[in-house]
Each structure stands twice: as structure tokens, then as C-alpha cells.
Chain A
Amino acid sequence: GIQVEQSPPDLILQEGANSTLRCNFSDSVNNLQWFHQNPWGQLINLFYIPSGTKQNGRLSATTVATERYSLLYISSSQTTDSGVYFCAVLSRDDKIIFGKGTRLHILP
């Protein structure tokens, strides 16, 4: 089946820094979504982005479907950005697959 790999697995940054999180997938997908899981466990929608680029405040995402990757950019990090970031894809055979996530720590 399709493989979804996220990198880096862990990232520690100072407040104010910028970061790029990556999601690679091994086959074509029908959609891709980025989530932030907060310390209480809730998954918060960031972007629904099967292709192209979207921006929402300090966050933006780009998916290049033909090259099978997506990037999540976080600018001017804040401590509230800490948590785990997941990408999830819908494979062409309708399987929903999550990556293992990137754990982000923003230090004050």
C-alpha cells in the first residue's frame, strides 16, 4: 500500500523562527490534509490541499502532486504552535493513511 513519510520526526526551535515540515507519499493521492494535534489530543484542520498552494496567516502549504510531496511552512513560530503535525492522504484505492507526524517544540 501507499507509504506516507513525514520529516523531520522531531524539531525544536526558538520562538520567532521559521520551519518547513515535509510529507512524502509513495503513490498518487486523491487528497491530502495537514493537521495540528494540540497537547489535549484534538486534531485541528490546517489545510485541505490535494494540489497547489494555500496560506492562512503565518501558515502556508504547498502540494506538488506530480512529485508526490507536500510542505507545511510555519513562519514566526509561537509557543502555541507546539504539538504534533500530521499529514493524511486519501489513496487512489480510497484508503486514509496518516504519516507518523512531526513533533514540534517551540521554546520561549
Chain B
Amino acid sequence: DAMVIQNPRYQVTQFGKPVTLSCSQTLNHNVMYWYQQKSSQAPKLLFHYYDKDFNNEADTPDNFQSRRPNTSFCFLDIRSPGLGDAAMYLCATSRVTEGDEQYFGPGTRLTVT
């Protein structure tokens, strides 16, 4: 089945130790998104790629970076995780434009110790 896959599902990292979360898709969608969701809150968009064009939200901290080496894969890099970065990180795709229906992966739950 075509889908959005996130690895790992659970990630534990130490304060200040860089961590990378990955997302892959078999949908061949043009747009890929990264969201951060903290407990009992709504998902918050961090950034998205339209093909290779990177679009950063204005309030996304510099600590968060992203790479999209090809259509299928997108990575979220947290350069120096703080305790406040503990959250669920959700990857999503949409087919052609940012206005299309979004499909989400299962998420990666990040713990910072």
C-alpha cells in the first residue's frame, strides 16, 4: 500500500545531542511537511518542501533543519535538542500543491533526557 513511513517511532536523545528523524513516502507526492505536536496541543507546522523548494515557517527555531535529498525522503535534523523539543513529530505529504489533501505518517515521539 502507498503510504507515509516514519522512523524511528520512538527516539530518545540527550540534551544537546543532535538527532535526525526520517520520513519516506511511496505516494510520489510533490509536497512534504514536518509538524511538531506537543502534549494536548494541535500540530504546528515547522516547514515544508514543494519539490526541492524549502519553505520555513517564520517562527520555526533555527535549531530545526530539514533535508529532502529526493522525492521519497525527507529528514528533520534537530541540532541541539532542548527539553522543550520533546514532542511528537509528524510528517505529511500532499499530491501536487500545498492546498491538496494531506496524508500523515504515524509520527516519531521524541524524548529528551
A residues within 8 Å of B by Cβ? 30-31, 33, 35, 40-45, 48, 86, 88, 90, 94, 96, 98-101
Total of A-B residue pairs, C-beta within 8 Å: 47
Cβ of B105: which chain A residues have Cβ within 8 Å of it? 42
* Interface range on chain B (Cβ under 8 Å from partner): 20 to 34
B48-89 Cβ-contact flags toward A at 8 Å (1 or 0): 000000000000000000000000000000000000000010
Q: Are B109 and A41 in contact (CB under 8 A)?
A: yes
Binding site for A on B (CB under 8 A): 33, 37, 41-45, 88, 90, 92, 98-107, 109
Q: Would A31 and B103 count as touching, CB distance under 8 A?
A: no
Interchain CB contact (< 8 A) of B42 among A33, A90, A100: A100
Q: CA A31 – CA B94 in complex, angstroms?
A: 13
- When the two chains form their complex, are residues B99 and A31 in contact, meaning their CB atoms are under 8 A apart? yes
Knowing A86-B42, A101-B42, the reply to whether A42 touches B107 (Cβ < 8 A) is yes
